[in-house]
A and B are shown apart, each in its own frame.
Chain A
Amino acid sequence: MERFQDIDKADSTVIWVKNMTKKFGKFVANDNLTFSVEKGEIFGFLGANGAGKTTAIRILCGLLSPTSGEAYVAGYDVYKQSEKIKQSIGYMSQKFSLYDDLNMMENIRFFGGIYGLDKKTIEQRTNELIEKFGMQDMQKKLIKDIPLGWKQKIAFSIAVLHKPKVVFLDEPTGGVDPITRRQFWDLINETAEMGITVFVTTHYMDEAEYCNRVSIMSEGKIIELGKPKDLKEKHQVNSIDELFFKVARNVNY
């Protein structure tokens, strides 16, 4: 029972996927994926549009069941324990992050409440956030009046407010200015150092270099997986950007 031995290691292995396949009718969105992600790791999940990244993320977030294969997130089975998974993860994306017509405090209270944090903890984490970002002036502003870069930094902090085992970031820096984009990665690094695993997708290939490991998906399969340095040496390229052009295909896009 290899699988149960692996789950005993759930303390250090946060995502564990073996032969995971997802079909929609005849279309194979995820084709026999096998990989694992360790505690505190920054894992870059790369691939062309239509390669199957979103499907895999939806499965790992407990929103969709695979057709076959195994997948565990934070030690929980994606087939049977999706509610437990939802409590153990954080999620943010470029498209959905915060509620525009609530202010920052209200957003924090709302998400804190959803994740079951008590009043005292919410208050304490709120104060930490305000201090960290120097946002005293901004806390009563509606989110829609806050510049995108700030909004995404706040959204990320709220996505890890409940100290999840892993946070999923789906193109978190799309449309963000280059300086704020780099500040966002400072936040990612801090979070990973706290032991929270970061699972991130991006179309900025320079950001792929900041990950501990990256995978590249193509046509539903993982075609490359490893440390950026090792992958570049293997393919004799100078950057992940070059590697991406070499191996990624966009047939379904």
Chain B
Amino acid sequence: MVRLNNLCKTYGTTKAIEDISFEVNENEIFGLIGPDGAGKTTIMQIVATLLVPDSGIAEVCGMEVNANFKALRKHIGYMPGKFSLYPDLSIEENIEFFAALFGTTVQENYHLVSDIYSQIEPFKDRPAGKLSGGMKQKLALSCALIHKPKLLILDEPTTGVDAVSRKEFWGMLKNLQKKGISILVSTPYMDEAALCDRVALMQSGKILQIDTPQAVVNSFNEVLYAVTSDKVYKMKEYLKHSNYCKNVHLFGQEVHVTLNTGVIDNVVTELKNTGFSNVEIKPINPTVEDCFMKLMVQ
């Protein structure tokens, strides 16, 4: 569906993306995972035919993006990170406008958006600028889908969205996938990587790793331990300076630790001798966030 070869883009002296190559398969949910400044938006804008790379080739549906941008826009639905609909048009006017732009009607493709649009349809006369964040998002997604695109590009759709609503949004994406749509989506939330078929972990314009979430986790290649005690923050500070420990990161109520040397029993003894109580330690499966942090320091 998407094929990128050696894409580069520079703004002034800042290299936004460097030598980016990957493919998105038909009917796949492909995630660009990384913090702000990783280059996610630049890649998406190139794929969406909105930005010309300095070098490299981007293809969508087998067509080179620059030469075929007009033809490709029929096949691409794009939801930018910033709300970009017309605030003084109503919900209904916005979706009808986008349908008309692409030479179709809301009725014709209603089946594609019905799950999402029906949630905001009761308020269809309300101006888009007066909607809550969640309603804006549902409208933007409906407008990006109304011309029945083959590829849906979503730039950080869940940023600033609470944990419950984020889960619901991913449910909607899974349903769209079942309808045959390929999805390129970006997110700074590492836990959302697990919901993609494949991910590219990105940092400062570069791809750190591309694979299925399971394979990313499998490549961690070290035993990871979760340590808990009655004073987790103080224990984290202590472990950071312990000779036994290599990488030490706070993870909610646990500290995730990999070992430099020795066995895990040494660490337990050390902690107990230092006065930490209720020390518990167990080997765990790493998360994508563990892997991301490991790749960052390498």
Decide yes or no whether A253 CB sits under 8 A from chain B: yes
Interface size on A, residues (CB 8 A): 39
Across the interface, do B162 and A174 meet the contact criterion of CB distance under 8 Å?
no
Interface size on B, residues (CB 8 A): 36
Across the interface, do A177 and B164 meet the contact criterion of CB distance under 8 Å?
no
Taking CB atoms and an 8 Å cut-off, the chain A residues in 195-241 that contact chain B are 203-210, 228, 239-241
Across the interface, do A177 and B203 meet the contact criterion of CB distance under 8 Å?
yes
Q: Which of A147, A178, A185 has the most CB of B within 10 A?
A: A178
Docked CA distance A185–B237 (Å): 12
How many Å from the CB of B18 to the closest CB on chain A? 16
Total A-B residue pairs with C-beta atoms closer than 8 Å?
Answer: 99
Residue numbers in A under 8 Å from B168 (CB-CB):
250
Residue numbers in A under 8 Å from B165 (CB-CB):
48-49, 250, 253
Residue numbers in B under 8 Å from A250 (CB-CB):
134, 162, 164-165, 168
Q: List 7 A-B contacts (CB under 8 A).
A: A48-B165, A175-B188, A177-B296, A178-B289, A178-B292, A185-B250, A244-B163
A145, A206, A244: the one within 8 Å of B164 (CB)? A244
Nearest A residue (CB) for B137? A253
Across the interface, do B133 and A49 meet the contact criterion of CB distance under 8 Å?
yes
B37, B189, B253, B297: the one within 8 Å of A209 (CB)? B253
Across the interface, do A178 and B293 meet the contact criterion of CB distance under 8 Å?
yes
Partner-B contacts on A (CB < 8 A):
47-50, 94, 145, 147-149, 171, 174-180, 182, 185, 189, 203-210, 228, 239-241, 244-245, 248-250, 252-253
How many Å from the CB of B81 to the closest CB on chain A? 10
Q: Which of A47, A177, A189, A208 has the most CB of B within 10 A?
A: A177
How many Å from the CB of A58 to the closest CB on chain B? 17
Docked CA distance A180–B166 (Å): 23
Nearest B residue (CB) for A182? B250
A149, A239, A253: the one within 8 Å of B162 (CB)? A253
Residue numbers in B under 8 Å from A177 (CB-CB):
34-35, 203, 292, 296
Across the interface, do B164 and A245 meet the contact criterion of CB distance under 8 Å?
yes
Across the interface, do A239 and B252 meet the contact criterion of CB distance under 8 Å?
yes
Nearest B residue (CB) for A175? B36
Known: A48-B162, A206-B251. 14 other contacts (CB 8 A): A47-B162, A49-B133, A50-B133, A147-B37, A176-B188, A178-B190, A178-B296, A203-B163, A203-B166, A205-B163, A244-B163, A245-B164, A250-B164, A253-B135
Contact status of A203 and B160, CB under 8 A, knowing A175-B188, A252-B132: yes
Docked CA distance A252–B134 (Å): 8
Q: Which of A49, A174, A228 has the most CB of B within 10 A?
A: A49
Across the interface, do A179 and B133 meet the contact criterion of CB distance under 8 Å?
no
Contact indicator per residue, chain B 146-171, by CB within 8 Å of chain A (1) or not (0): 00000000000001111111111000
Docked CA distance A193–B135 (Å): 41
Across the interface, do A245 and B167 meet the contact criterion of CB distance under 8 Å?
yes
Contact indicator per residue, chain B 193-223, by CB within 8 Å of chain A (1) or not (0): 0000000000110000000000000000000
How many Å from the CB of A27 to the closest CB on chain B? 11
Docked CA distance A174–B158 (Å): 11
Across the interface, do B252 and A240 meet the contact criterion of CB distance under 8 Å?
yes
Residue numbers in A under 8 Å from B293 (CB-CB):
178-179
Contact indicator per residue, chain B 25-44, by CB within 8 Å of chain A (1) or not (0): 00000000011110000000
Residue numbers in A under 8 Å from B289 (CB-CB):
178
Residue numbers in A under 8 Å from B126 (CB-CB):
none
Across the interface, do B160 and A171 meet the contact criterion of CB distance under 8 Å?
yes
Across the interface, do B133 and A174 meet the contact criterion of CB distance under 8 Å?
no
B161, B251, B297: the one within 8 Å of A203 (CB)? B161
